[in-house]
Amino acid sequence: MQVVRSLDELNSVLEVVWAAAVRIGFVPTMGALHEGHLSLTRLCGPCDYRVVSIFVNPTQFAPNEDLSRYPRTLDEDLAMLSRENIDLVYVPSVEDMYGSGVQISIQPGEMGKVFEGAIRPEHFAGVLTVVGKLFHRVKPDVAVFGEKDFQQLCLIRKMVKELDWPVQILGGKTIRESDGLAMSSRNRFLKQSERASALALSRALRRGQEAAIRGVKSTEELRGEMMQAVREFPAATVDYLTAIEPESYAEPLEFSATSRLIGAIRVGSVRLIDNMPICE
């Protein structure tokens, strides 16, 4: 496994790979890797050459979000990747990524203004712009993103489709702890006393699935059932909890089999997001 830290180094390694016209699989990450990320790298299995990037992207953090608090565990990350079938890890600096400026950005449009986009207004422009830059640098055939960040995944699919980029986007299933908590780099910030309350979100989403199986049809009724599940965890507060259509991110009056249950809660200083299909 090779590790490169600059665009020049990346180009000199990839020139040979591009010339060989092999299929390149790519997993962009912000590091602090866990089993969820490793499962994404395994989806690149059918590709001939596998690239992972590790870059804590400052433009997707708002000033109040404390970029410096984001976990940075590069040595552990590289050790984990070296045990997977990875050919190249790209670890650019902020200077390497944005040295030429940050005036131009990719705007996410209406789908990027709701839910996560309403709470974090600049977030998705930062995500789409850095993903676009990484795609231009790596030129992957296939790129893999986790379903855990479902709105991000839907926006990346939309960006690639609307901008005619020749890259196939794969979504990787959310990996969960044995009690159902979705794996996330942010879980490490949960205090021991908060860990049990973090389950409020996955329990609420499961309750939504159960309600759909029982025959509930209206999104409002479904939301009520999910809110009721969160109330069993008094330390958890809800940012949103609902069903949406993945194509538009609009909330239908009556959900369908393609709808997705999405939610965000806060437990102490930690904000958690999660989602599940209506029926699995």
Catalogue the active-site residues: 37
Q: CB nearer to ligand PAF: give 124 or 255.
A: 124
> Is there a contact between 108 and 155 (Cβ–Cβ < 8 Å)?
yes
Q: CB nearer to ligand PAF: give 143 or 241.
A: 143
The only residue of 127, 198, 205, 261 in contact with ligand PAF, by rule CB under 6 A = 127
What percentage of the chain's residues is helix, strand, coil (to nearest 5)?
A: 40, 20, 40
Amino acid in position 124: F
Residue indicated by tokens 């806060």: 266
The only residue of 29, 202, 219, 275 in contact with ligand PAF, by rule CB under 6 A = 29
129 forms part of the interface with ligand PAF (CB under 6 A): no
28 forms part of the interface with ligand PAF (CB under 6 A): yes
Q: CB nearer to ligand PAF: give 157 or 206.
A: 157
Stretch near ligand PAF under the rule CB under 6 A, chosen from 63-71, 114-122, 123-131, 168-176: 123-131
Q: Is 164 left (phi over 0), alpha (psi -120 to 50) or beta?
A: left
Q: CB nearer to ligand PAF: give 149 or 251.
A: 149
CB of 28 to ligand PAF, least distance (A): 4
**Which tokens hold the place of 118?**
């309403």
Stretch near ligand PAF under the rule CB under 6 A, chosen from 25-33, 102-110, 160-168, 176-184: 25-33
Stretch near ligand PAF under the rule CB under 6 A, chosen from 6-14, 69-77, 127-135, 171-179: 127-135
Cβ neighbors of 52 (< 8 A, separation 6 or more) are 26, 27, 28, 29, 41, 81, 86, 88, 89, 90
Q: CB nearer to ligand PAF: give 106 or 212.
A: 106
CB of 82 to ligand PAF, least distance (A): 20
Q: CB nearer to ligand PAF: give 29 or 41.
A: 29
Can you say whether the dihedral through the CA atoms of 41, 136, 58, 151 is positive or negative? Answer: negative
CB of 146 to ligand PAF, least distance (A): 7
Q: Of 30-89, which residues contact ligand PAF (CB under 6 A)?
A: 30, 57, 60
Nearest to 275 by CA among 255, 258, 261: 261
Looking only at the bridges linking them, the beta strands covering 270-277 and 168-172 are: unpaired
Cβ neighbors of 177 (< 8 A, separation 6 or more) are 183
Q: Of 145-174, which residues contact ligand PAF (CB under 6 A)?
A: 149, 152
182 forms part of the interface with ligand PAF (CB under 6 A): no
Cβ neighbour number for residue 192 with a 10 Å cutoff: 6
CB of 193 to ligand PAF, least distance (A): 27
Ranges of beta strands (E only) in 72-140 are 88-90
> Is there a contact between 23 and 49 (Cβ–Cβ < 8 Å)?
yes
Which residues of the shown chain bind ligand PAF in the complex (CB under 6 A)? 28-30, 57, 60, 127, 130-131, 149, 152
